[in-house]
Amino acid sequence: MNNPTPEAGVQPGDFVHRFVPGQAVESAPVLLLLHGTGGSEDDLLGLGHLLAPGASLLAPRGKVLENGMPRFFRRLSEGVFDHDDLVRRSHELAAWVRVAARAYRFDVRNVIAVGYSNGANIAASLLLLAPGLLRGAVLFRAMLPFLPETPPDLAGTAVYLAAGKHDPLVPVQQVEALAGLLEQSKAEVTLRWSENGHRLTPEEPEAARRWLDELKRIAKA
């Protein structure tokens, strides 16, 4: 008997979500939009349109509730993640993205995650646990979700990290550890610091947009 695939039994409706079809712009990616704590499937749609005009947008809502606020995985305290739940939820989300690709008929090989805070952390976890799922990632205020026993092979995966030097929730050392691990895993990493805290400055999405434009230009070359 064949073993079931990770997607067996997974349905598009397993996550409350929004899917916004793109405009079939050549080389436009599909953006997987992952909100922060307390957010929803609608939170990052505007950011997605700004980052990649014409791209399709796939935005799930996190299933975990913390004091009524949606998240993508549990944490034990501020900055301390429930590792087992993080791993389980990451695999669940990866399987759901593959199923959504079939349901909405987009190329799963052209998915770029865009995450903020909690959403950025589970996107980083997807990179580590499901290498090859994401073509790239834009991570706003991410930290190292966990340290894998063996670094994954992320050759050909591009990652943009936007971090605040004065972020009270994400220590500088955690950002540097994530960037270092991704580089060790052969990802193409761009780390951009701002003189800011956990909230984004207006300039940061624009800088990420330029990075994505360059990524698309390279893909077409």
7's CB contacts (< 8 A; 6+ apart) are 95, 98, 99
- What separation in angstroms does the CA of 97 have from each of 5, 130, 145, 205? 14, 11, 20, 24
Active site residue 198: yes
* Given the residues 167, 185, 194, 213, the one annotated as active site: 167
Q: Which of 171, 95, 167, 186 is nearest to 133 (CA)?
A: 95
Active site residue 82: no
Active site residue 194: no
Q: Which of 36, 43, 37, 38 is nearest to 17 (CA)?
A: 43
* Given the residues 117, 166, 185, 213, the one annotated as active site: 117
Q: Which of 191, 200, 212, 198 is nearest to 50 (CA)?
A: 212
The angle subtended at Cα 35 by Cα 161 and Cα 197, nearest 5°, is 50
User: What residues act catalytically?
Assistant: 117, 167, 198
